[in-house]
C-alpha cells in the first residue's frame, strides 16, 4: 500500500500538524440570563451549570469569564408577567432593568463585545415574537416595535443587535432607523435561519417566555427546508446584516455550510439550550464523557463553517483550556 492515512494519525504531535479545524475562545459568545433585583444567582434546573443573574452578580460573572479569555456576551432578560403587555412596551422603556444593566456592563467593561436580543416574546403577554391580533402574528406592524427596541438597546451601548424574531423585512427596518439615529457602528447579527425547533425548551424555561397559545411555525422556519435559508440569507444581506446566524446549530450543520458557501458575511451559529442540556443530562447519567462531547460538538459547528458560536459551554470550554 503506497497510501496509508494512518501515518498522519500516529502521534498527537503529527495529528496536531495536520489538524484542519481549530477552535478558540475568541470564536465564542456566552449567552447569559438577567433578572431584576440584587444579589441573585438562581440555578436553571433544565440547564445544569447555568444561572439567572441580577446585574451585580452578572458583573462579577462577566469579570471571571473575561479572565478566562471570553470577550463577547449576549444578555437575555427574564421579565415578570407584571411588566408584560401585548405591545412589549417595557422593551423600550429607558428605565427598564434590562437597558440599565446593558449600560452598566458597558460602563464597567467597555472593552467587551456586548450583544442584545431583539424580539417581543420576553416582554409580551402573548409570548410571541410579534404583535398578535385575532390569533395571528402581524408582520409589518411588529417592525416598528422591534426598531424602537433596537434603538433603545443601541443607545444603551450594545455592540451587536440580535433580531431573533424572524419577521420579514426587520433587518432593513432596524438598519435604517439605527443609521438615521446616528448608530451607524452598531452591528446587526440577524437570526437568518431560525428553525421551529424542539431544542428551545430549556431556554423558554429560563425566560418564562413560552407562547401562551399555538406555536411559532408561521414565522420560524420548517426543519425540513434548506433552500429557504438561502432566500432568508439573500434578504438579510441586502438589508444590511453584518452576520448571518443559524439556530439551532447541531441539527443544522448543513445549513451553516450552505450559508457559509454562498455568502461573504461571517456565519454565526447558536448552540442552543436543548443541545447543551442533552449533553449535560447524558453526562450526569454517565452515558457520555461531558468534556469530549462538548469539544466534539463545538468543533463540528466550527468545521461546518461557523465563524462565531453562541454557546452555554463558553465558560466551561475556556476553563478546560486553562
Full pLDDT tens readout for the chain, 322 residues: 999 999 999 999 999 999 999 999 999 999 999 999 999 999 999 999 999 999 999 999 999 999 999 999 999 999 999 999 999 999 999 999 999 999 999 999 999 999 999 999 989 988 888 889 998 999 999 999 999 999 999 999 999 999 999 999 999 999 999 999 999 999 999 999 999 999 998 887 777 767 777 788 889 999 999 999 999 999 999 999 999 999 999 999 999 999 999 999 999 999 999 999 999 999 999 999 999 999 999 999 999 999 999 999 999 999 999 8
What phi and psi values does residue 190 have, to the nearest 5 degrees? Answer: -80, 135
What phi and psi values does residue 3 have, to the nearest 5 degrees? Answer: -115, 120
Q: Which residues pair with 269 in a beta bridge?
A: 246, 309
Rounded distance, CA 137 to CA 140, Å?
10
Rounded distance, CA 31 to CA 34, Å?
10
- Residue 117 belongs to what H/E stretch? strand 113-118
Instruction: State the Cα torsion 297-299-303-305 to the nearest 10°.
Output: 80
Whether residue 14 is contained in a domain is answered as no
Any idea what the CATH number is for the domain that residue 281 is in?
3.20.20.70
CA distances from 310 to 33, 54, 63, 162, 165 (A): 13, 21, 18, 12, 17
Domain that holds residue 182: 21-321
Rounded distance, CA 47 to CA 235, Å?
34
Whether residue 2 is contained in a domain is answered as no
Residue 232 is assigned to a ligand binding site? yes
Whether residue 270 is contained in a domain is answered as yes
Taking phi over 0 as left and psi of -120 to 50 as alpha, with beta for the rest, 159 belongs to: alpha
Whether residue 269 is contained in a domain is answered as yes
Residue 62 exposure: Cα atoms within 13 Å on the Cβ side: 31
Whether residue 13 is contained in a domain is answered as no
Rounded distance, CA 66 to CA 72, Å?
9
Whether residue 253 is contained in a domain is answered as yes
How many domains does the chain contain in total?
1
Contact between residue 86 and residue 124 where contact means Cβ atoms under 8 Å apart: yes
User: Catalytic residues, which ones?
Assistant: 194, 247
Closest CA to 141 of 123, 153, 159, 129: 129
Closest CA to 320 of 22, 2, 4, 25: 25
pTM of the predicted structure, to 2 decimals: 0.95
Whether residue 6 is contained in a domain is answered as no
Amino acid at each position: 500500500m503506497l497510501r496509508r492515512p494512518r501515518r498522519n494519525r500516529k502521534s498527537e504531535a503529527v495529528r496536531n500538524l495536520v489538524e484542519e479545524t481549530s477552535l478558540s475562545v475568541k470564536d465564542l459568545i456566552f449567552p447569559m440570563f438577567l433578572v431584576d433585583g440584587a444579589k441573585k444567582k438562581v440555578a436553571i434546573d433544565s440547564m445544569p451549570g447555568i444561572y439567572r443573574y441580577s446585574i451585580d452578580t452578572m458583573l462579577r460573572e462577566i469579570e471571571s469569564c473575561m479572565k478566562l479569555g471570553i470577550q463577547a456576551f449576549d444578555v437575555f432578560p427574564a421579565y415578570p408577567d407584571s411588566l408584560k403587555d401585548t405591545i412589549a412596551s417595557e422593551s423600550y422603556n429607558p428605565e427598564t432593568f434590562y437597558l440599565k444593566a446593558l449600560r452598566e456592563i458597558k460602563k464597567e467593561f467597555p472593552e467587551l463585545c456586548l450583544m442584545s436580543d431583539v424580539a417581543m416574546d420576553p416582554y409580551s403577554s402573548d409570548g410571541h415574537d410579534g404583535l398578535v391580533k385575532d390569533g395571528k402574528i402581524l408582520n409589518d406592524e411588529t417592525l416598528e416595535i422591534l426598531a424602537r427596541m433596537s434603538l433603545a438597546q443601541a443607545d444603551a451601548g450594545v455592540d451587536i443587535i440580535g433580531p431573533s424574531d424572524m419577521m420579514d423585512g426587520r433587518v432593513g427596518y432596524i438598519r435604517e432607523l439605527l443609521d438615521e439615529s446616528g448608530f451607524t457602528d452598531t452591528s446587526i447579527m440577524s437570526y437568518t435561519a431560525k428553525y421551529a425547533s424542539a431544542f428551545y425548551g430549556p431556554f423558554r424555561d429560563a425566560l418564562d417566555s413560552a407562547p401562551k397559545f399555538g406555536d411559532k411555525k408561521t414565522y420560524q422556519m420548517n426543519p425540513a427546508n434548506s433552500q429557504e435559508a438561502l432566500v432568508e440569507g439573500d434578504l438579510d444581506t441586502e438589508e444590511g446584516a453584518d452576520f448571518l446566524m443559524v439556530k439551532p446549530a447541531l441539527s443544522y450543520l448543513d445549513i451553516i455550510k450552505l450559508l457559509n458557501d454562498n455568502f461573504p458575511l461571517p456565519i454565526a451559529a447558536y448552540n442552543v439550550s436543548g443541545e447543551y442540556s442533552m449533553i449535560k443530562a447524558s453526562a450526569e447519567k454517565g452515558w457520555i464523557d461531558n468534556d469530549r462531547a462538548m469539544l466534539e460538538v463545538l468543533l463540528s459547528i466550527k468545521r461546518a463553517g461557523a465563524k462565531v458560536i453562541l454557546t452555554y459551554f463558553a465558560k466551561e470550554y475556556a476553563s478546560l483550556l486553562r
